[in-house]
Structure 1
Amino acid sequence: MRPADALVALDTAPSPDRQRFTAFVRATGDAALDRDLGPEHLTASCFVFSRDRSLVLLCLHRKGRFWVQFGGHLEPQDPGLASAALREAREESGIATLELDDDAVADLDRHDLHGGFSCAVHWDVGFVATADPATRTVVSHESEDVRWFPVDALPAPLAPGLPRRLAALLAGPAAPTGTGGS
Structure 2
Amino acid sequence: MSLHADAWSTLASWRPDYYTQEALRQAFLGYLAARPDACQRSCAAGHITASALVFDAGGEHLLLTLHPRVGKWVQLGGHCEPSDSTLAGAALREATEESGIADLRIDPVPVHVDVHPITCSLGVPTRHFDVRFAVRAPRGAHPVRSAESLDLRWWPVDALPDEDGELDMMLAVLR
Question: Which TM bucket (shorter chain)?
Answer: 0.7 to 0.9
Counterpart of 1:95? 101
Matched positions, count: 167
Name whichever of 58-67 and 12-21 sits farther off.
12-21
**What are the equivalent positions in structure 2 for 1:21-170 lying under 5 Å apart?**
21-30=28-37, 32-100=38-106, 102-113=107-118, 118-132=124-138, 134-155=140-161, 161-169=166-174
> What is the distance in 1 between the residues matched to 2:68 and 2:162?
14
Do the aligned partners of 1:13 and 1:108 also contact (CA within 8 Å) in 2?
no
What secondary structure is seen at the aligned counterpart in 1 of 2:63?
strand
Choose from 24, 27, 37 the match for 1:20. 27
Q: TM-score, normalised by structure 1?
A: 0.83
Give 1:180's aligned residue.
none
Task: Calculate the aligned-residue CA RMSD, in Å.
Answer: 2.1
TM-score normalised according to structure 2 size: 0.86
Shift of residue 115 of structure 1?
Answer: 8.8
**Shift of the alpha carbon at 1:133?**
6.2
Paired with 1:154 and 1:142, the residues of 2 have a C-alpha distance of 21
Output the CA distance in 1 between the equivalents of 2:8 and 2:46: 16
Separation in 2, partners of 1:26, 1:99: 30
Give the share of equivalent positions with the same residue, in percent.
42
CA deviation after TM superposition for structure 1 residue 21, in Å: 0.9
Of stretches 87-96 and 108-117 in structure 1, the one that deviates more from structure 2 is 108-117
- Letter of the 1:19 partner, please give it: Q
Which residue does the alignment assign to 1:174? none
Per the alignment, in what secondary structure is the counterpart of residue 169 of structure 2?
helix
Q: CA deviation at 1:156?
A: 5.3
Deviates more, 1:46-55 or 1:75-84: 46-55
Cα offset for 1:164? 1.2
Q: What is the Cα deviation at residue 9 of structure 1? A: 1.2
What is the SS of the residue equivalent to 1:11?
Answer: helix
Instruction: Look up the equivalent residue of 1:152 and give its one-letter code.
Output: D
- 1:128 aligns to what SS in structure 2? strand
Q: Which amino acid aligns with 1:88?
A: E
Q: Structure 2 unaligned runs (5+)?
A: 17-21
Contact 2:117–2:128 (Cα < 8 Å) also in 1: yes
Tell me the secondary structure at the aligned position of residue 113 of structure 1.
strand
List gaps (5 residues or longer) in structure 1.
Answer: 172-182
